[in-house]
Chain A
Amino acid sequence: MAKILEVNDLITRFYTFDGVVHALSGVSFDLDEGETLGIVGESGSGKSVTMMSLLHLLPTPPARIEGGKALFYSNRNEQNNNTDPVDLLQLDKSGIRKIRGGKIGFIFQDALSALNPVMTIGRQISETLIEHLGMTVDEAKKRSIELLEYVGIPEAEKRFSAYPHQFSGGMRQRTMIAVAIACNPEIIIADEPTTALDVTVQAQIIELVQRLKKEMKMSVIWITHDLGVVAGMADRVLVMYAGSAVEIAPVDDLFYNPGHPYTIKLLGALPKIGEEGQHRLESIDGTPPDLLSPPAHCQFAWRCPHAAEKCWQAVPAAREISPGHHAACFFDFAARRP
């Protein structure tokens, strides 16, 4: 399958009063056309910084992208038919503004603060259409109402002139999705879009995005801390830990044959639905390292039950342990399983 995005060795740091926060220490992954990539990891592992680095949404200073490439193989290129990728990280302000909200749509966790509280829902969608597609006000209004209907907002015409606070959390998130898909994007990046919602509403939003993805032939990056959500919607999963990509694999491989001790422990820490009797959760003792002074060895060594001498001496590079399955560990725990 054709690649649409290829991120190589992304390094992002924050220069703060307390010192340098090593938020991303060389993150690599790619995204295929039409696929959903799930990114999971605990808070602070670098999920949001990854997405914000790609879209130039980080405040600079303190942020500095100090290395890496993010090649975007757009193939809905109006001007010419070339398929030369653009490196998102090298774009200037106007370059990224054309892509962000255009060919790459994004959705945040907190729709309420992402939407402008004093602007009607309709105007917020219209503005995107006017800016990116050069529509007239009337065209944009018509299209906005269609979009609101498309994302499942009832009485869209009436709701066009409503304000964000008049919407429920789920409806706000639908509005964000309408904005994100307004310009027919090739990629949607969603950063914990359902974390603040009830499970019943979460199920609706996931269903919606799955449908849109199919109908509009988009690729999706879905960031979450919920492994259950990822199991249900991702084709492949990237696991992040302390600013590194520790494992990436097709979804079944990741859940049934994880290779990295962190992934293995994380899965063990989850309660099993419908279990009989009371089991004990496997806990991971300790906490992630301080990113102000990340260790010069495996980030997980302190918490890893298998840490050996070499784990304390060098940072393990990601290796392909089976086709399409990469893990950043000196050992291959997937292979040891019967």
Chain B
Amino acid sequence: MVQNAEVSGNINSNGIEHKKTELSRSNHNLVTVKNLKKYFPFTKGSLFNRKKGQIKAVDDLSFNIRKGETLGVVGESGCGKSTTGRAILHLEKPTAGEIVIDGVDVTRLTREELRCMRPQIQMIFQDSYASLNPRHAIGHIISEPMMIHTDMKQSAMKERVMELLELVGLNPNHYGRFPHEFSGGQRQRINIARALSLNPKFVVCDEPISALDVSIQAQVINLFQDLQKELGLTYLFIAHDLSMVQHISDRVAVMYLGKIMELTTRERLFNTPLHPYTQALMSAIPIPDPVKERQRQRILLNEEVPSPANPPNGCVFNTRCPVAEEICTRSAPEYREIETGHFVVCHKVDAL
């Protein structure tokens, strides 16, 4: 199915050359995020007694993503997963922090430089239908990025569209059809084709399979994995389906109220989670195995998730944490590397 394995680097088989941003490859981390913050201002109170506040949607994240790797991001809704993805792609201007993609600190780029950088970083969203213009044929939709970022000729673009359709497992001759003529899974493939049209290096996938049925999810996940192998893609994979995240990711970050609570390899995270929040999350995943389900002990957390506009003092998790102690309400735990590559933010982890 995947044919153009030779497509990689800056020039693809059609000879599209990305408008230049000279990139130096400093290390094998494709993406490095340091102290990333994204606060949204808001006002509350009555008309005459307005108070200004801030929603700390993303609060001081640091991590890196290696070239060719998939980093999964999980956590309850509202914990800042999408904001993280959007801030990294500069769809949302970060409040503070550094985002280095392939050696370039994108937070310091001018608008024009950023525009040139765009083709290399792409995003795929959950809602495959909303992100496709229903009035345009899919061939047009897939070629849009090429129209904006390249000076390719019509015929070259059409050829590339057909190549992409084939790449994502759709019939290349269907480029003239409209989005409503495709199923949910097929529309997500169209989104993927568009995201790949300019040979990105890095793709942020925000809940890309959440709206799909199980059997179709498997098709799309397999496609993501095939494309990664063929094209050497690097993914930030955001999802609330923990079992799918553990399936596709090399490493996983667990977020809570805008912060990373734990980050490690998928095997370690799912087999020996250290953070009390991760442990609770893992224990809540339904497992399609009746005997295992009957033997499980669930850690039930209370449902009252604090507002990111007013996060708890100390450890942000302390109001729901089953093992919290006095210190947790007073001081915020540090982001510590407990073992090589295993980061945890919790006062009690050594003792756990």
Shortest beta-carbon contacts, A-B, top 4: A228-B286, A271-B247, A269-B218, A232-B293
Listed stretches B42-50, B124-132, B157-165, B208-216; interface member:
B208-216
Q: Are B288 and A228 in contact (CB under 8 A)?
A: yes
Which of B76, B222, B293 is A200 in contact with, Cβ under 8 Å? Answer: B76
- Contacting residues of chain A (244-285) with chain B, CB-CB under 8 angstroms: 251-252, 255-256, 265-267, 269-276, 278-285
A-B contact pairs, 10 of them (CB 8 A): A168-B305, A202-B286, A203-B283, A203-B284, A232-B287, A256-B290, A273-B243, A273-B270, A273-B285, A283-B222
Q: Are B240 and A199 in contact (CB under 8 A)?
A: yes
Known: A43-B213, A199-B240, A287-B183. A228 touches B287 (CB 8 A): yes
Question: Is B301 in the interface zone, CB < 8 Å from A?
Answer: yes
- Contacting residues of chain B (276-334) with chain A, CB-CB under 8 angstroms: 280-281, 283-294, 296, 298, 300-301, 303-305
Known: A199-B242, A200-B280. A207 touches B300 (CB 8 A): yes
Residues of B within 8 A of A200 (CB): 76, 280-281, 284, 300-301, 303
Q: Are B286 and A226 in contact (CB under 8 A)?
A: yes
Question: Is B150 in the interface zone, CB < 8 Å from A?
Answer: no
Known: A207-B298, A231-B293, A266-B215. A168 touches B304 (CB 8 A): yes
Residues of A within 8 A of B283 (CB): 203
- Contacting residues of chain A (167-225) with chain B, CB-CB under 8 angstroms: 168, 170-171, 198-204, 207, 225
Question: Is A157 in the interface zone, CB < 8 Å from B?
Answer: no
B213 to chain A, nearest CB (A): 4
Question: Is A87 in the interface zone, CB < 8 Å from B?
Answer: no
Residues of B within 8 A of A226 (CB): 286
A-B contacts at CB below 8 angstroms, number? 123
Q: Are A42 and B284 in contact (CB under 8 A)?
A: no
Distance of A198 Cα from B281 Cα, bound (Å): 10
B199 to chain A, nearest CB (A): 24
Which of B216, B221, B244, B271 is A274 in contact with, Cβ under 8 Å? Answer: B271
Residues of B within 8 A of A269 (CB): 214-215, 217-218
B322 to chain A, nearest CB (A): 12
Chain A residue, CB-CB nearest to B244: A271
Q: Are B215 and A42 in contact (CB under 8 A)?
A: yes
- Chain B interface SS verdict (over half): helix
- Contacting residues of chain B (236-283) with chain A, CB-CB under 8 angstroms: 240, 242-244, 246-247, 267, 270-271, 280-281, 283
Q: Are A198 and B240 in contact (CB under 8 A)?
A: yes
B143 to chain A, nearest CB (A): 26
Question: Is A86 in the interface zone, CB < 8 Å from B?
Answer: no
Question: Is A65 in the interface zone, CB < 8 Å from B?
Answer: no
Distance of A281 Cα from B243 Cα, bound (Å): 12
Q: Are A281 and B221 in contact (CB under 8 A)?
A: yes
Which residues from chain A sit less than 8 Å from chain B, CB to CB? 42-43, 168, 170-171, 198-204, 207, 225-232, 251-252, 255-256, 265-267, 269-276, 278-285, 287
Which residues from chain B sit less than 8 Å from chain A, CB to CB? 76-77, 183, 185, 213-219, 221-222, 225, 240, 242-244, 246-247, 267, 270-271, 280-281, 283-294, 296, 298, 300-301, 303-305
Chain A residue, CB-CB nearest to B302: A204
Q: Are B290 and A171 in contact (CB under 8 A)?
A: no
Known: A198-B76, A200-B281. A225 touches B247 (CB 8 A): no
Distance of A283 Cα from B288 Cα, bound (Å): 17
Known: A204-B300, A281-B221. A251 touches B215 (CB 8 A): no
Residues of B within 8 A of A270 (CB): 214, 218, 243, 288
B22 to chain A, nearest CB (A): 35
Q: Are B217 and A199 in contact (CB under 8 A)?
A: no
Distance of A284 Cα from B20 Cα, bound (Å): 42
Distance of A37 Cα from B45 Cα, bound (Å): 48
Q: Are A231 and B288 in contact (CB under 8 A)?
A: yes
Distance of A255 Cα from B287 Cα, bound (Å): 11
Known: A171-B303, A207-B300, A269-B217. A287 touches B185 (CB 8 A): yes
Distance of A221 Cα from B284 Cα, bound (Å): 21
Known: A202-B284, A231-B287, A274-B270. A280 touches B222 (CB 8 A): yes
Distance of A270 Cα from B61 Cα, bound (Å): 31
Q: Are B288 and A255 in contact (CB under 8 A)?
A: yes
Known: A199-B284, A231-B289, A251-B290. A265 touches B246 (CB 8 A): no
Distance of A252 Cα from B303 Cα, bound (Å): 31
Chain B residue, CB-CB nearest to A227: B288
Distance of A202 Cα from B287 Cα, bound (Å): 13
Interface centre among A42, A229, A251, A287 (most CB of B within 10 A): A287
Distance of A100 Cα from B333 Cα, bound (Å): 52
Distance of A10 Cα from B288 Cα, bound (Å): 28
Residues of A within 8 A of B215 (CB): 42, 265-266, 269, 283-284
Residues of B within 8 A of A170 (CB): 303
Interface centre among B77, B216, B218, B222 (most CB of A within 10 A): B218
Q: Are B246 and A273 in contact (CB under 8 A)?
A: yes
Chain A residue, CB-CB nearest to B78: A198
Distance of A203 Cα from B296 Cα, bound (Å): 12
Q: Are B246 and A225 in contact (CB under 8 A)?
A: no
Q: Are A198 and B77 in contact (CB under 8 A)?
A: yes
B224 to chain A, nearest CB (A): 11
Residues of A within 8 A of B280 (CB): 200
A213 to chain B, nearest CB (A): 16
Q: Are B300 and A229 in contact (CB under 8 A)?
A: no
